[in-house]
Amino acid sequence: MKRGFSLLLAAGAMIFIQACTGYQNLKRSWETYEPTSIYKDYSKPATAQPVPPTPANKDFEKQVEKLQETKRKWEDALGRPEREDGFYRPDPSRLSALLPAAKEPSLAREVLAKGFTLEDLEILALLRNPGVKAGERNLRASIEAYSQVSNLDEILRQYSAFTKDLMPGIGPMAEGESMELKFPFPGVLALKGEVATQEVEASREREVMARRMAITQARQAYWNLLYNRRAQKITGEMLFLLRHLESVATKRYETGKTSFQDLIKIRIERDKMEEELKTIREQQRNIEVKILEILNLPPGTIVSSPVPRTPQPEVPPLDGLFSLALTKRQELREMRAMIGKMERMIEMAETMIYPPYSPGFSLFPNETIAQTGTMRMKEPFPAKTLASTGVGLPRNPWYGTNDAYLRETRQKLAALREELRKKEDETVTKVREAWFRLDRAKREEELYAVRVVNLSQASLEVSTRAYGTGNVAFADVIMSYTGWLNDNLALEMKRSEMGMAQADLEEVLGGPWR
């Protein structure tokens, strides 16, 4: 019995040992297994080939680079303070000297306190006038539109890349970006860039108009202040003459050679002249406050006498000014830019909502797996034409809802063109009126300077000597004094009017006529 159990135990041990040996062999075979070369070649993953950039992508990137380059050029132009805007270009050396006054009011106050020239006032107006700064800010805001032009298209392109058609199947998948998300990005992006450019052009003209207004106001204030200072001097001389005449009349009255009425009349004229001098001085304060407003300086800033100058403008031929104004005037250029903007907006809307010339049957998405074989889910080409769309029309039947917007925009465009014609006619009238004021001021200035003032001075001297000897009536003496005063004031007024008329003509023309 024991022997049989021993044999059974030995047999079991032999079976267990053999089983363990087979498992080891199986494990070793599993660990060292390699597939056949045929299977290796078959299952070897294919190398994914990079998808070449499509023409649409190249055009899109090229348009984006062009927009960035245009924006950079505008920003560079704004960074040059001596830039020429078609209306006024300051002297570079004087501009460099006064450039710190844009942020330092103390320098501007120093220039005004020690006697300033017309050029100094013009440059300070460009640097400190709030209207000029507001126009520049608005221009910079318009330039930022270039950065926004391609933003929506970039978002759609990223969405198309992240949500491209992926279908688990055999072999590498090609790019799944649909044609609908590629077209018409480059063309529409170019139109968007042109719209932004036209808006920047309009903002640029508005900024030049702000500069033009500030410079013209500065010129008018300069000539008004110069006339006021000269009027004070002439009135003071007249007051001195009246006091001298009063002393002469007093002596004649004491000797009984004239009446008391003559003495009273002289004193009345003297009192009136003193009051007139006070009025002129108060008018000076008004002009000085206007200058401080233009330069954005606080009240109480000292404004000294401007450096005197006599305008010597030439009166240009009138015929050539009309065409010059129609070309250079900023209001007309702004309206033309707005017309160009609206035209491109209409073209962009038509491109996006109207059907193209091609039926578009061959513009299908790159969905090879979904359109071929037994697993295809859609036809490779349109199999039928829906009645709601028709042949050649977009699949979206609601594209026509934007027609009302286009009709409205076209009517606004037509109205803007008529407004441009109206503004051109008004410009011709303004040029004629400004030229007439300049021509009249120059003719009258020459008349008073060459003849009238000299004759008034001679009449005053003769009548004063004759009155002292009793050979001239008092009424003639007072008339000669009044005539001398009015003629001298008129001469200075005509000289200031020449400067202001020249400034008005340049403002109407949009720049100098030379």
Closest CA to 331 of 401, 424, 412: 424
DSSP assignment string, 279-306 = HHHHHHHHHHHHHHHHHT--TT----PP
CA distance 270 to 290: 31
In this structure, the number of other CB atoms found within 10 A of the CB of residue 288 comes to 19
pLDDT in tens, 222-240: 999 999 999 999 999 888 8
- Report the predicted TM-score, pTM, of the whole model to 2 decimal places: 0.74
Maximum pairwise Cα distance, the chain: 189
3-state SS class at 122: helix
Q: At what angle do helices 185-254 and 118-128 cross, to 10 degrees?
A: 140
Sequence ranges of the domains in the chain: 55-160+180-300+320-352+414-509
Residues 37-57: what's their mean pLDDT? 54
When comparing pLDDT for 193 and 498, which is higher?
A: 498
Is the model's pLDDT at 169 over the cut of 80? no
Rounded Cα distance between 221 and 503, Å, is 11
Overall average pLDDT of the 120-140 stretch: 92
User: Where is pLDDT greater, at 28 or 482?
Assistant: 482
Three-state secondary structure call for residue 182: coil
User: Does residue 430 have a pLDDT over 70?
Assistant: yes
Query: In the structure, what pLDDT confidence band is assigned to residue 300 with cuts at 50, 70 and 90?
Result: confident
Which pair of structure tokens corresponds to residue 330? 């900023």
Write out pLDDT tens, residues 337-379.
Answer: 999 999 988 887 777 655 554 554 444 455 555 556 565 666 6
Sign of CA dihedral 187, 193, 199, 205: negative
- Predicted confidence at residue 28, as pLDDT, reads 72
Cβ–Cβ < 8 Å for 250, 262: no
pLDDT attached to residue 40: 61
DSSP string across 427-438: HHHHHHHHHHHH
Looking at the predicted structure, is the pLDDT value of residue 397 above 50? no
Tell me the pLDDT band of 168, cut-offs 50, 70 and 90.
very low
DSSP 137-155: HHHHHHHTHHHHHTHHHHH
How would residue 179 be classed by pLDDT, with cut points 50, 70 and 90? Answer: very low
Say how far apart CA 332 and CA 466 lie, in whole Å.
Answer: 63
Distance of CA 275 to the CA centre of its chain: 48
Tell me what percent of the residues of the chain surpass a pLDDT of 90.
35
* Predicted pLDDT at 124: 94
What lies within 8 Å, CB to CB, of 298 at 6+ separation is: 105, 292
Tokens of 474: 């008092």
- 55-160+180-300+320-352+414-509 belongs to which homologous superfamily? Outer membrane efflux proteins (OEP) (1.20.1600.10)
Instruction: Give the least confident one: 67-71, 134-138, 181-185, 303-307.
Output: 181-185
